[in-house]
Structure 1
Amino acid sequence: METNMITVEGDVIIGNHSSIQYCISGDTVIMGEGVAVSGDVIACSDARIDMWSKIGSGVKVGRNAYLGEFVTIDGKLIVAGDLDVGKEVKIKGGFEAKGWIVVRNPVPVIMFLLLYIREMMRLGKGEEVEKALEELFDDSGEEEEFDGKEPGEKVLIIPADAKISPEAIEVSGEAIIGSNCYLIGNLRVQTIEAGEALTLKGSINSEGNIIIGENSTVYGSLVSKGQVNIGRNSRVFGGIRADSVILHEKAIVDGTIKAPAGVSFLREAAGEKPPLADVNALGKVLMVGLEKQPESKTEEEPVKAVEPADIDSLIKTGPKVKNGFVPGMEKKSARTRSLARTRHFSGSRTRKRQGTGEHQS
């Protein structure tokens, strides 16, 4: 996404009643009903523009073009192949077509897709519908590959009622951004998930979670009512305000982080999965999601159980527990111990005299 151009190394599908204030360039360009594009539309392969759509500039098509009813093109239309055009189509700058020109009512884009899928189902190829859709938007005449990926993996899909302008990109649902993308403008979405090496010159405002991949750069702030996740070697030139934040230890945030539910850091360990670490209110790092490891022992002697000892009285102890603590024995004062000793000895003399037949007066 440049200053006034959106360039896609693949196909472009635009939902109904969307507004795009950019020029669009792609392989196959498909536009739904009531789509408004302020700039040029360049399709290296085919172009399908549904009814009531409006193009603010010219249209250039590398192969065949299909225009529905009441389509308006303010610029010039150039078609290298055949032109299938409906009624009440207005082309203010004129048109050039090197192939056949047929004036009729082309099948609407959505109906074309549904008929194609239904035919595949009738032929017993229901399991290959997804593959068939990828082949539908693929140029079979060329065997070009992009970075070893399938063409279906590089498709720009703009949902219905979306608004894309230099000021903001507004989507009423989920936004998914692939890797190695360059975008200009603020994002207003429900949730967003971005791949690696994203360059965004704008802020993100989300009702849900925000996920920024590795090696990305965001020149703006991140505002979310859910969770914000920043990947490794990524940098945010702005603040973050969210319910909770997960930040990789090698990520940089040049701003203030406000997260009522806390901030967690992803730390890398050699040969291990990076564990989570929380930071409490005092700034202390607390490990999260790991089993507690046994604390390292100092040079102190290991704890041993007290060996049992025979106790004949309240104060008599064996040699092994002398001057030691005996469970169940309460601490007594010196007077209490003296009285107990006196009772002990006097009781012994009484038992002895009774055994010999002597009586004490």
Structure 2
Amino acid sequence: MAFSRDPLDELVVPDGTEAKEVDLVTDGDVLVGGRSTVEFGVRGRNVLAGEGVEFGGAIEAEADCRLDMWCEVAENVLVGQDAYIGERVHVAGEMKVAGDLDIGDDVEIEEGFEANGWIVIRNPMPTIVFLFVYLKHLLLIGEEQTAQRLVSELVDEDEGEEIDVDPLVIPKNATVSDDAWRVSTPATIGDDCRLHGNVRAETIDVGTDTTIFGSLRARGDVSVGEGTRIHGDLTTRDGDVTIAAGARVLGDVSCAALELGPDAEIDGTIRADGEITMGTTDREPE
């Protein structure tokens, strides 16, 4: 992780992420920036949410769960290891924690909670705030190697085993629902994903063999990977569009310049202010 950029300045949907009915399911961690609304439930390894995040479903974390103050969870919270819950968090269901539970003041859990380990009730500093303050202190005193090890332990390792799965990152002030994914940042969607909802972002980069049941709209460039299916329109305000080989857009495309790979398909109308470039399939040698 580079210290020069905010880890929550981009929507990142890792490879293999699926929207299954009411849940977002990923093999890696889930990181949600402050004041975002996620109308799905989430299932992942570690689940970390900033201040004032709203979840429209349940949270299932295989490892730890960290919810900062003022978070709202519409259903249950199930945690495989430890949970850290900030003050004034509201959980409409029950909370079950396999390990320790560190819980702040004025937390409301409507259907009760249980933990197999220690239960500590206090008013902790918000988890994400604490981590950034601690990292900043290490960098100020010149302990860059120590800071890098801390980030690796938090993001890349679990009980000594290295994790090579990228996290699902939802930036602050985002809205994620079955209707739309709205962010004011760039968006990167990985390979082999299956998502529902229109994607609205600064720029959009979609990987290979992904299916999106919704339209794509961006201010800047949009790229669609090989074999991907977009069930909706693709529109940019000022950017170019690249549609790779074998990809298909089941709707209209509006952009500045358009580049189409071999066997790419557009089922609707093309509106391009600039050049339209069409790739060809290489001939096999005779």
Residue number in structure 2 paired with 1:11? 29
SS at match of 1:197: coil
**Deviation sequence 1:84-104 (CA, Å, 0-9, x none):** 000000000100110000001
SS in 2 for 1:117: helix
The residue number in structure 1 matching 2:200 is: 188
The 1-side partners of 2:211 and 2:146 are apart by 35
* Counterpart residue number, 2:250: 237
> 2: distance between equivalents of 1:2 and 1:227?
31
SS in 1 for 2:24: strand
Q: TM-score, normalised by structure 2?
A: 0.87
The CA deviation string for residues 172-204 of structure 1, in whole angstroms up to 9 with x for no partner, is: 111111222111111111111112221101111
Query: Do structure 1's residue 99 and structure 2's residue 117 form an aligned pair?
Result: yes
Q: 1:235 to 1:134 in 2, by over 3 A?
A: farther
Larger deviation: 126-135 or 89-98? 126-135
1:55 counterpart = 2:73 = yes
Match of 1:76 among 87, 91, 94: 94
1:2 touches 1:184 (CA, 8 Å); kept in 2? no
CA distance in 1, matches of 2:149, 2:262: 40
Among 128, 131, 144, the alignment partner of 1:126 is: 144
Shift of 1:128: 6.5
Cross-structure match for 1:266: 279
Instruction: Say whether residues 1:254 and 2:272 are aligned partners.
Output: no
- Whether the aligned pair in 1 keeps the contact of 2:156 and 2:162 (CA below 8 Å) is no
Q: Which residue identity does 2:269 align to in structure 1?
A: T
Supply the distance in 2 between the matched residues of 1:103 and 1:215 (Cα, whole angstroms): 51
Aligned length: 265
Query: 1:171-320, aligned counterparts within 5 Å?
Result: 171-225=183-237, 226-269=239-282
- Offset at residue 135 of structure 1 (A): 2.3
For 2:24 and 2:264, the matched residues in 1 are separated by 29
Structure showing greater relative contact order (alpha-carbon pairs closer than 8 Å, 6 or more residues apart): 2
1:26 paired with 2:44, answer yes
Which amino acid is 2:158 matched to? Answer: S
Question: Could you say which residue in structure 2 is the equivalent of 1:293?
Answer: none
More helix by share: 1
Per the alignment, in what secondary structure is the counterpart of residue 66 of structure 2? strand
Aligned CA RMSD, in angstroms, stands at 2.0
Q: Aligned with 2:78: secondary structure?
A: strand
Calculate percent identity across the aligned residue pairs: 37
Cα deviation for residue 3 of structure 1 reads 2.1
- Unpaired runs of 5+ residues, structure 1, are 272-361
Identify if the C-alpha distance between structure 1 residues 130 and 204 changes in structure 2 by more than 3 Å, giving closer, same or farther.
farther
Q: In the alignment, is the contact (CA less than 8 A) between 2:103 and 2:121 conserved in 1?
A: yes
The whole-number CA distance in structure 2 between the counterparts of 1:177 and 1:131 is: 28
- Pairwise mapping of residues 158-173 of structure 1 onto structure 2 (< 5 A)? 158-173=170-185
Distance between the aligned counterparts of 1:4 and 1:65, measured in 2? 23
TM-score (structure 1 length as normaliser): 0.69
| In structure 2, C-alpha distance between the alignment counterparts of 1:10 and 1:250, rounded to whole Å | 33
Cα offset, 1:266, TM superposition:
2.6
Offset from partner CA, 1:154-173 (integer Å, 9 cap, x none): 11110000001111110011
Query: Is the 2:47–2:66 Cα contact (8 Å) retained in structure 1?
Result: yes
